[in-house]
Amino acid sequence: MIESEEGINNIDSILSISGIDMVWLGHFDLTDSLGSVGDFEDKYFLKCITTFIDHCKKHQKPAGFLDVNKKMLSHFKKLGFKVLGYGHDVVVFQNSLKRGIDMINTF
């Protein structure tokens, strides 16, 4: 998983490691490390995405992207991401917490 500016800057050497089958992009954490939290239109973030995709192609590694937003998933597929997932750890925690609170509220 590449989720920081440091990861983007070292992506060529990371993807050269034997045994890596695919590469996930941690897009939210990447924007955080770039100082543009959640700004997926930031020019430097978009440049990092291009770098990410270019290196995945160079090393013949499928690029992975995970989100809950259909429009964003579609957009990243068009950018060249081959492995798409639906979800977020935060959403899983929120849903679980909501179920727990709803259960407690039945008492």
- Give, for all 107 residues of the chain, the pLDDT tens digit: 999 999 999 999 999 999 999 999 999 999 999 999 999 999 999 999 999 999 999 999 999 999 988 999 999 999 999 999 887 777 778 888 999 999 999 99
Domains of the chain (ranges; CATH) run 5-104 (3.20.20.60)
Rounded to whole angstroms, the Cα distance separating 11 from 89 reads: 24
Q: Note whether 56 and 62 are within 8 A (CB).
A: yes
pTM for this prediction: 0.81
